[in-house]
Structure 1
Amino acid sequence: MSVRVRLRSTTARDRDAQTGLPKETAFKFQTMGVVFPLATETGSSRTYDRQIEAELRISDVVIDKEPVVLAGYAAGARLLRLDAGGTDAETTCREVELRAAIPSRSWRTEFDEKAASRVDWPKEGWPAEAMSTFQPQMYLDLGWNPQTGQIEAYDDKPLADAIERWVKEAGGRDVKSLPPVTLAKFLAARVWASIEPSRGDGLIATTQGELAGIELAAPSMVLANGRATPSEMALLLTAVYRKAGLPARTVIGWDVGADSDRFLKKGGKQNQIRAWVEFALYDEVKNTINWVPVDIVKLRKMTSRPQSLDREWRFFGTHDELADIAVIGFQFHPPTDVVSYGSAGFWGWFVTPEPPVAAEQAISFSATTMAKRAGDTGPGERGESPSPRRGR
């Protein structure tokens, strides 16, 4: 997958008299670090970090082409970083561009739900990567408050209240009275029944029609409104899982489809941004952790009424479309202290002495796909049953 992020510094208020567009303005910086997310390994994909090629351009001049991969972030996320500046002198520029070629491999998953349902809650706690999913993250726990101009914590009490109500309505004592897989399926069914798809997809366009970002409401607000874009629905289920004590992360990807060079093709079911959820299933006896995909968006599109919990669900664990999706990351905004503009656009930057007050961001993706091979079982099988089995 190839990624392109372009930034043009603009004025916050002044607009061109003829076009009505924000005026481009130069800005000065001493140091700059630009980051973009990586999901090295998910339940259905692997990214080859050492083979990544990337470059940072300032006013169309290549400044850095030696990317650094940073690890240790929430949910197992990594960040691709490129830098500019670093001297006492200031650099003046109008446009910044990040280009990256990120090789990866994706596969479909098959899930042995019967075996997985026998895995109980861990007695000694969750592994570190699973525990890291509970760290505060933008658009799950935190969001921008335009009234105060600050990033503030969301009110998650409505989520806790909803979970408690759902469990009691089903005759349960508490969330721990159900095995993790059963709880995950039960909560997915409740979200499935509670949310209707909104008319829009939440994608925000630039003045030139490119992707500027994704508009995202707080999970508690989505639950209260009963409507959600595809990305908001995935975030809501992730937030519900985490509030119930299940380690979970949102996985965002690009459905490459057949026309890999047609990003966000209008009217198509493929070439779209996709989001789903993975929850952690930890087998203490075998000391294995597996990430189980739950595509709440696809489940809701099939029917407004959840299927019986006694039946196996397509898109719960077993997912035959993931082989065509290039994974972007686990968060819509990098899990670190960086700035972006307008809506969530995956990337972010550190700038000294300070970043521009306003800028227009544009994000695009392209991909070159390899032919699928019959019987391809995916790289590096390492999880024992119960787990999603990797195949193509």
Structure 2
Amino acid sequence: MSFKFSILASLFLPMGHLGAQDLLNRVDAHDWELTVEIRLSSEVPIQLGPDGRPMGIFRPDQLWPYRPPWIDGTRWLEVKPNGFFDTEGGRIRMPFVEETASSEAEVERLDGVFFIGTRQDESAIANGKVFPKDILGERAVEFALNEGRDTTMRWSIMLPHRSYGIVVDEPQAAALPWPRTVSSEVAPALNPSGLIDSDDPVFAEAVNTIAGDRLQVVSPWRAAKSLLAGVIRTIRVGEPATARGRSTAIRGIVARKASEAAKSSVVNPVEDVLVAVGVLRAAGLPARAVHGVRFRTLRLPPEPITWGEWFHPDLGWVPFDMGFLRGDGVVNRGVDQKWRGFGEIRELERRVPIAFRLHPESDARGWYPWAWWSWEGLTEQPGFFEQAVELQMIDRGRVPNRGVAP
């Protein structure tokens, strides 16, 4: 049995002009129940070398993200604890997203569970705090941990979401002028955040290379298209972004800083979006990355996915998908044509957001990949441990008579 978080409900007005609904509409409403579970274990297998002798404790960073541990004749001798988690007085924070261009969450139904070993710490959930939106619009819940010491711990949060497809009146959207000012609500989306260090000179140079002095000669809609096409021409996507360990379990998301990725010739799909957002910000267009999960089929587990959003006051947040744009061959099409993956994205209603930035931005986990959680104040923790992320989406079906959001 889990306990609901104690929440003081707050109402937030969506960021954007009230007339945005005339140009960008939500359609095909679909209800989901998203669960994000994190499992940690210090019971790490001992790796055997080719001669059969132990090589020391398996270090996931030696194999992540591209070399699964079953290759090269790797064998496992036994499982050995590598320290303990002592949770007394500690705190764990999990991000969540209340609203994007294509989704809204029922925050009052936020729920969760926490286990240290096999014991459930119910008070950690009952005493949990829910934080208001930060500068990018992301929220978070914090677990307050009590006494407990074990080699394993796991926790999860569950949050119902309603996702939508997007339909855009492209001729009118493409005719909108550059705004004279940027509101204080979205101004933070012009500044560096997390891994997107958009103040690095590489992004200003990219904008100048792509658009020169003609950036504001065209509308923001067409300028954004030109900038994204420039990123696609310059950088190739060829690496996976999901780190996996033994039994193909998800260990987290692999990503470098946007500036570092922009200076390389090959990036992964997550870095592709981070670079695109950095370029849009450098051009004066508020933008953010959306890290979430996509439902595939009942037989296949949902998969992590990252897309982007940029902002115009008369449109609100406009989604774009770099993977779709690359697959649609937009580099060979004019900005006055409709692009699949810009504004309108196929099956967008099958996606649910998790966070606007990768977590943790800083803590003691060192070489572990990003995985949508962070902790503070643990009395004791193992030198290293295995981290597994499980994503679950329960399909609650399409919403009748809600084809277009009011």
Partner of 1:15: 57
Matched, 1:262 2:323: no
Once the two structures are superposed, the pairs formed by residues 257-336 of structure 1 within 5 Å of their partners are: 257-259=296-298, 262-263=300-301, 271-283=302-314, 290-303=316-329, 305-334=331-360
1:38-67 deviation digits (Å, cap 9, x = unpaired): 110000111111101102221222222234
Q: 1:323 to 1:27 in 2, by over 3 A?
A: closer
Q: 1:221 to 1:322 in 2, by over 3 A?
A: same
Matched, 1:179 2:219: yes
Q: SS in structure 2 opposite 1:318? A: coil
Partner of 1:366: 392
* Cα contact 1:47–1:105 (8 A) shared by 2: yes
Matched, 1:106 2:106: no
1:108-151 deviation digits (Å, cap 9, x = unpaired): 101122222333333343231x122245432212xxxxxxxxxx
Pairwise CA distance, 1:290:
0.8
Q: 1:377 to 1:8 in 2, by over 3 A?
A: same
* Cα contact 2:85–2:380 (8 A) shared by 1: no
Once the two structures are superposed, the pairs formed by residues 148-167 of structure 1 within 5 Å of their partners are: 156-167=200-211
Q: SS in structure 2 opposite 1:275? A: strand
Unaligned runs of 5+ in 1: 142-153, 264-270, 284-288, 382-392
* Cα contact 2:91–2:378 (8 A) shared by 1: no
Q: SS in structure 1 opposite 2:246? A: coil
Bigger mean CA offset, 181-190 vs 18-27: 18-27
Partner of 1:343: 369
Partner of 1:237: 276
Which whole-Å CA distance do the structure 1 matches of 2:326 and 2:79 have between them? 39
Q: SS in structure 1 opposite 2:335? A: coil
Pairwise CA distance, 1:378:
4.9
Which whole-Å CA distance do the structure 2 matches of 1:373 and 1:43 have between them? 18
Which whole-Å CA distance do the structure 2 matches of 1:61 and 1:83 have between them? 15
Which whole-Å CA distance do the structure 2 matches of 1:131 and 1:339 have between them? 31
Pairwise CA distance, 1:373:
5.0
Pairwise CA distance, 1:248:
0.7
Which whole-Å CA distance do the structure 1 matches of 2:257 and 2:347 have between them? 28
Partner of 1:190: 230
Once the two structures are superposed, the pairs formed by residues 198-213 of structure 1 within 5 Å of their partners are: 198=238, 200-213=239-252
* Cα contact 1:36–1:334 (8 A) shared by 2: no
* Cα contact 1:189–1:306 (8 A) shared by 2: no
Pairwise CA distance, 1:235:
1.1
1:194-241 deviation digits (Å, cap 9, x = unpaired): 22220x322111334311111112323333323221111111111111
1:312-335 deviation digits (Å, cap 9, x = unpaired): 111111123111112222112156
Amino acid at match of 1:93: D
Bigger mean CA offset, 317-326 vs 200-209: 200-209
Unaligned runs of 5+ in 2: 1-33, 47-54, 59-74
Partner of 1:74: 135
Partner of 1:225: 264
Q: SS in structure 1 opposite 2:100? A: coil
Q: 1:232 to 1:8 in 2, by over 3 A?
A: same
Amino acid at match of 1:48: E
Pairwise CA distance, 1:76:
0.4
Which whole-Å CA distance do the structure 2 matches of 1:258 and 1:315 have between them? 21
The number of aligned residues is: 344
Matched, 1:140 2:182: no
Which whole-Å CA distance do the structure 2 matches of 1:137 and 1:338 have between them? 16
Partner of 1:4: 37
Bigger mean CA offset, 68-77 vs 218-227: 218-227
Of residues 15, 32, 40 in structure 1, which corresponds to 2:98? 40
Partner of 1:115: 172
Which whole-Å CA distance do the structure 1 matches of 2:79 and 2:321 have between them? 38
Pairwise CA distance, 1:273:
1.7
1:52-108 deviation digits (Å, cap 9, x = unpaired): 1102221222222234321232310011221103xxxx6423222111211001111
Q: SS in structure 2 opposite 1:361? A: strand
* Cα contact 1:49–1:69 (8 A) shared by 2: no
* Cα contact 1:38–1:47 (8 A) shared by 2: no
Which whole-Å CA distance do the structure 2 matches of 1:307 and 1:22 have between them? 57
TM-score, structure 1 as length reference: 0.79
* Cα contact 1:69–1:78 (8 A) shared by 2: yes
Q: SS in structure 2 opposite 1:114? A: helix
* Cα contact 2:191–2:281 (8 A) shared by 1: no
Q: SS in structure 1 opposite 2:145? A: strand
Pairwise CA distance, 1:362:
0.7
* Cα contact 1:193–1:306 (8 A) shared by 2: no
Amino acid at match of 2:402: D
Bigger mean CA offset, 2-11 vs 360-369: 2-11
TM-score, structure 2 as length reference: 0.77
Which whole-Å CA distance do the structure 1 matches of 2:281 and 2:370 have between them? 21
Amino acid at match of 2:308: V
Which whole-Å CA distance do the structure 2 matches of 1:33 and 1:82 have between them? 5
Partner of 1:148: none
